[in-house]
Structure 1
């Protein structure tokens, strides 16, 4: 949790994030069915690409909320600002790895 939040910054968008994750979960189940049904490789790969993109968008949304919430609050209140920036940079490096 951030210093001045009664939850995490993404909480304001929680319903949207959960809806998107449920949709991704359905897409993954769809790929499982495609493999069970011996569907064409390219069709499966296209669906996997769509899942990766959708999951990446969810991650970007959480990253945005963290930056604008936790990191901004730490800097504004001069509380562990450097630590929050280091943490943010570490997570960005991890998030952008392929």
Structure 2
């Protein structure tokens, strides 16, 4: 998926997620309340889900629904997407 490397908005999301994970680590290290840690972890989960949604949509558009793809290319793209969805659903 090298086309994703040209997406600075995705990299910006990853950097924000890294900051959120660091905030979880800091909260745990500083003996923050359970509620604080839970809120920070929930924020990380939401941010990762948003990133995943964006990348899934990109993959779907570029590797499954793009006009001009061969049947084989579509099948490979669909299989890749299905593998990710199954892994995520576990």
Pairwise TM-score range, normalised by the shorter structure = 0.7 to 0.9
Q: Does 1:43 align with 2:36?
A: yes
How far off is 1:21 after superposition? 0.9
Q: How far off its partner does 1:11 sit?
A: 4.2
Aligned to 2:9: 16
The residue that corresponds to 1:69 in the other structure is: 62
Match of 1:78 among 61, 70, 81: 70
Inter-CA distance 70–52: structure 2 relative to 1 (3 Å threshold): same
Q: 2:87 — aligned with what?
A: 94
Question: Matched residues in 1 for 2:27 and 2:60: separation?
Answer: 38
Shift of the alpha carbon at 1:96? 3.2
How far apart are 1:55 and its partner, in Å? Answer: 0.7
How far has the Cα of 1:77 moved from its partner? 2.6
- Secondary structure, counterpart of 1:66 in structure 2: helix
Residue 66 (structure 1) shift: 0.6
Query: Structure 1 residue 25 and structure 2 residue 25: aligned?
Result: no
Is the contact between residue 10 and residue 51 of structure 2 (CA under 8 Å) also seen in structure 1?
A: yes
What stretches of structure 1 of length at least 5 have no aligned partner? 2-6
CA distance in 2, matches of 1:82, 1:53: 30
